Amino acid sequence: MGKLVIVGTLAFDAIETPFGKTDSILGGAATFIGLAASHFNIDAAAVSVVGGDFPQEYMDLLSSKNIDLSGVEIIKEGKTFFWKGRYHNDMNTRDTLVTELNTLADFNPTVPSEYKNAEFVMLGNLHPLIQSSVLDQMSETPKLVILDTMNFWIDNTYDDLLTVIKRVDVLTINDEEARQLTGEYSLVVAARKIHDMGPEYVVIKKGEHGALLFHNKHVFYAPALPLEEIFDPTGAGDTFAGGFAGYIAKTGDISFDNIKNAIIYGSALASFCVERFGTERMIHLERSEVHDRVMQFKQLTQFNIELT
Ligand code: AMP
């Protein structure tokens, strides 16, 4: 089992969906990634920054999930990153209403010394220079580096993003962002262009339509489970990435076949995330529920066919 370094936001989120709205609740890429990865009982550390307004209760919650927080800087006089989003009726698309970087604006990440030799690094959605700085601090070349990003960073920090993408093995990105990053409508062509930017594996997330994995000439597709309850898709992409990274860190196997399994675990964990607002569902998730859902994925896609 390898150590996992997780970099990303710890945040306050305010969310509006067709089913209701929340005031500031616990959110952030590192939060969702950490909660998903903690399912695998691995040695994981979060690297992030918060303000003095970030409740101790949230820190305790993450610690109770075995996430090492020694790499989380607390700036007492500062404010925590805040994001507000509104989902459209299809629940697959959303508008960002507010992004307040706050303490994130001047964040200099520090990887805790006992994690500098981690084999796995999950660069969650964050400023690409922060993502690069974390890679610079690793004492040994990690076995697998995974990077997630979003439209905000593609719009505002394109060149820095291309520089860090060159250094990663797996890029996870949603379909619209893959188009935005490459200027290509076809996801197959977009994935090829992203390969050319550096990553050997490209995972394109398609929300309720599952995820595509591209590796050289191979393509693998994991559906999303048809769900009865969808309340809030916030964090589903990060939960997917956290499940993916956690599974890889647990198994230590970076073969194409095992990366396919990681996609299934990521999809299974993300399917829980959307069932309640924010982190609510992930906090109370039982191991047996995850196992049942992975088996549901298997049944959903398995068939015996005889060619006639
Ligand atoms: P997801 O729904 O998986 O794309 O991620 C939603 C999470 O990303 C929310 O909890 C937000 O706090 C966080 N987030 C939103 N915008 C940004 C941003 N520009 N940089 C980093 N994290 C963000």
Look at residue 251 in the predicted model and tell me its pLDDT: 97
Distance CA 124, CA 49 (A): 13
Of residues 255, 249, 263, the one with CA closest to residue 301: 263
Summarize pLDDT for 188-236 with one digit per residue, the tens.
999 999 999 999 999 999 988 899 999 999 999 999 888 888 889 999 9
Average pLDDT over residues 288-308: 93
Q: What percent of the chain has pLDDT over 90?
A: 92
Summarize pLDDT for 19-29 with one digit per residue, the tens.
889 999 999 99
Phi, psi (rounded to 5 degrees) for 115: -110, 0
Summarize pLDDT for 116-154 with one digit per residue, the tens.
999 999 999 999 999 999 999 999 999 999 999 999 999
Q: Please, are residues 49 and 73 in contact by the beta-carbon 8 Å criterion?
A: yes
Phi, psi (rounded to 5 degrees) for 198: 145, -55
Distance of alpha carbon 86 from the chain centroid: 20
Question: SS3 for 217?
Answer: coil
- For residue 146, the one-letter residue type is I
Ligand 1 binding pocket includes 152 (Cβ within 6 Å): yes
Instruction: Give distance in angstroms: CA of 235 to centre of ligand 1.
Output: 7
- For residue 237, the one-letter residue type is G
Residue 293 has pLDDT above 90, yes or no: yes
**Pocket mutation for ligand 1, best pick of 234, 267, 280 (most atoms within 8 Å of C-beta):** 234
Looking at residue 161, what DSSP letter applies? H
> pTM score, two decimals?
0.96
Distance CA 31, CA 78 (A): 19
Residue bearing tokens 């307004």: 53
Ligand 1 binding pocket includes 157 (Cβ within 6 Å): no
Distance CA 280, CA 278 (A): 6
Instruction: Give distance in angstroms: CA of 273 to centre of ligand 1.
Output: 14
Ligand 1 binding pocket includes 234 (Cβ within 6 Å): yes
Looking at residue 225, what DSSP letter applies? P
Task: Please state the atom number of ligand 1 nearest to the C-alpha of residue 12.
Answer: 12
Summarize pLDDT for 46-98 with one digit per residue, the tens.
999 999 999 999 999 999 999 999 999 999 999 999 999 999 988 878 999 99
Ligand 1 binding pocket includes 28 (Cβ within 6 Å): yes
Rg of the chain, C-alpha, whole Å: 18
Look at residue 89 in the predicted model and tell me its pLDDT: 87
Question: SS3 for 228?
Answer: coil
